[in-house]
Amino acid sequence: MPTESLTITDNRTGKTYVVPIDGGTVKAMDLRQIRTSEDDFGLMAYDPAFQNTASCRSAITFIDGERGILEYRGYPIDQLAERSSFLEVAYLIVHGELPTQPQLDDWCFQISEHYIIHENIKKFIDGFHHDAHPMGMLLSTVGALSAFYPDAKHIFDPATRQKQMYRLIGKMPTLAAFAYRHSRGLPYEYPDPRLSYAGNFMAMLWKRTGGEERYTPNPVLEKALDLLFILHADHEQNCSTSSVRVVGSSQPDPYCAVAAGIGALFGPLHGGANEEVLKMLREIGDKEKVYDHIKRVKRGEVKLMGFGHRIYKNYDPRAAIIKQAAHDVFAVTRTNPLLDVAIELERIALSDDYFVSRKLYPNVDFYSGLIYEALGFPVEMFTVLFAVARTVGWLAQWQEMLGDKEQKIARPRQVFTGHRGRTYVPMAER
């Protein structure tokens, strides 16, 4: 009997089954042999919200939630945050290795060649009300790219896949910036490939039309934005990445799959939390009112937004890095008084058994919004910034899924709880 196995006894029949253990998992399909009769379908695993289900094998991002460890392709997040750049990290996540200088130069050039969007896409953005949420605009315009690039459906051709990655990584900042400019009633500022990825994004957002020849980003703020992109680039099988994989499993073009990821990320329990954190801090207003809010959380009236995580049962390593970066940004911009509220909220929560017993710690969204606000972003743009960065992870995970021989179209089963075999009732008899 192999050591790496389970012996399962079905007490309904007295039969025993040996099920192999592979990498800390048992295959759900190995349960189907456990049946009470020949016409019995066999056992399934039941796991709502996939809390204990591995959906894939992946070599991209490693997380140890108990120890607060996060690594992209084996490199610790704190080393990448300190020493790398977003586009270099993007190359690493997509290709699996740090690039040589020629590889990085070509990667950056190819992406910059695709910053520009088709002029007709502007008509989609123009069609939104001024107060349309930019995540809704991003979802729509990324989905629209599917109609502009019909060649993208050749997803098993590596060169075609690579070109769509250049397009999406290159165009996300432009779509995001154009959505922002539209919401402000400002003319669009076209991309400037001479600037860095973050610098070009800042220019498209904040260059004064007509007022200045060339936008020069503040280097401290440019570095802070690049750092935030690094920290948000990938996070293994989170809700939005799983959505990209599920939609991608039916083999549409990557614009359809990424649009699904944007939709999932918009939710307040996921990427939308950074926007909710700022609203929560503003509602609390000052340190003296933090206790009252904590009491509301403990009464179950509200969640402490920016706290808690499905995987991290320790401090989210990204939150610690962002907290430090906030001080660097505030040294350049005005200090955000809400930082004191956030620090007090963390201090109280981390000493209160309600949170300690539930292993609720600050996550990536708790401090990021304070930096975004200091950089000049309205709260509605916070999740858009998350989506710009996470597009790299979504594409890498999508590509890995396409190459995984164990994968096929995602189609879960269900436990049926409804009526069966009913007879149609005519209206007069209802």
- Which positions are catalytic? 270, 309, 365
Contact status: 207 vs ligand SDX (CB under 6 A):
no
| Between 114 and 293, CB nearer to ligand SDX | 293
Contacting ligand SDX (CB under 6 A), which of 32, 287, 310, 313?
310
| Between 198 and 360, CB nearer to ligand SDX | 360
Contact status: 238 vs ligand SDX (CB under 6 A):
yes
* Segment interacting with ligand SDX, rule: CB under 6 A, options 3-11, 118-126, 308-316, 397-405: 308-316
Contact status: 304 vs ligand SDX (CB under 6 A):
yes
Closest-CA residue to 65 (of 236, 230, 233): 236
Given a contact cutoff of 8 angstroms between Cβ atoms, the answer to whether 255 and 168 are in contact is yes
Contacting ligand SDX (CB under 6 A), which of 173, 199, 306, 317?
306
Contact status: 170 vs ligand SDX (CB under 6 A):
no
Per CB under 6 A, contacts with ligand SDX among 258-287 are 269-271, 273
Contact status: 61 vs ligand SDX (CB under 6 A):
no
Contact status: 80 vs ligand SDX (CB under 6 A):
no
Contact status: 346 vs ligand SDX (CB under 6 A):
no
Contact status: 363 vs ligand SDX (CB under 6 A):
yes
Contact status: 326 vs ligand SDX (CB under 6 A):
no
| Between 92 and 364, CB nearer to ligand SDX | 364
Contact status: 32 vs ligand SDX (CB under 6 A):
no
Contact status: 309 vs ligand SDX (CB under 6 A):
yes
Find the residue with minimal CB distance to ligand SDX: 308
Closest approach, Cβ 311 to ligand SDX, in A, equals: 6
Per CB under 6 A, contacts with ligand SDX among 103-162 are none
Closest approach, Cβ 256 to ligand SDX, in A, equals: 20
Given a contact cutoff of 8 angstroms between Cβ atoms, the answer to whether 280 and 305 are in contact is yes
| Between 238 and 336, CB nearer to ligand SDX | 238
| Between 154 and 313, CB nearer to ligand SDX | 313
Contact status: 358 vs ligand SDX (CB under 6 A):
yes
3-state secondary structure the chain: CCCCEEEEECCCCCCEEEEECECCECCHHHHCCCCCCCCCCCCCCCCHHHCCCCCCCCCCEEEECCCCEEEECCEEHHHHHHHCCHHHHHHHHHHCCCCCHHHHHHHHHHHHCCCCCCCCHHHHHHCCCCCCCHHHHHHHHHHHHHHHCHHHHCCCCHHHHHHHHHHHHHHHHHHHHHHHHHHCCCCCCCCCCCCCHHHHHHHHHHCCCCCCCCCCCCHHHHHHHHHHHHHCCCCCCCHHHHHHHHHHCCCCCHHHHHHHHHHHHCCCCCCCHHHHHHHHHHHHCCHHHHHHHHHHHHCCCCCCCCECCCCCCCCCHHHHHHHHHHHHHHCCCCCCCHHHHHHHHHHHHCCCHHHHHCCCCECHHHHHHHHHHHHCCCHHHHHHHHHHHHHHHHHHHHHHHHCCCCCCCCCCCCCCCCCCCCCCCCHHHC
Contacting ligand SDX (CB under 6 A), which of 308, 326, 391, 392?
308
| Between 108 and 246, CB nearer to ligand SDX | 246
Burial of 81-102, coded b for 16+ CB within 10 Å and e otherwise, reads beebbbbbbbbbbbeeeebeee
Closest approach, Cβ 353 to ligand SDX, in A, equals: 12
Contacting ligand SDX (CB under 6 A), which of 226, 365, 373, 400?
365
Contact status: 313 vs ligand SDX (CB under 6 A):
no
The binding site for ligand SDX (CB under 6 A) comprises 235, 238, 269-271, 273, 297, 303-311, 358, 360, 363-365
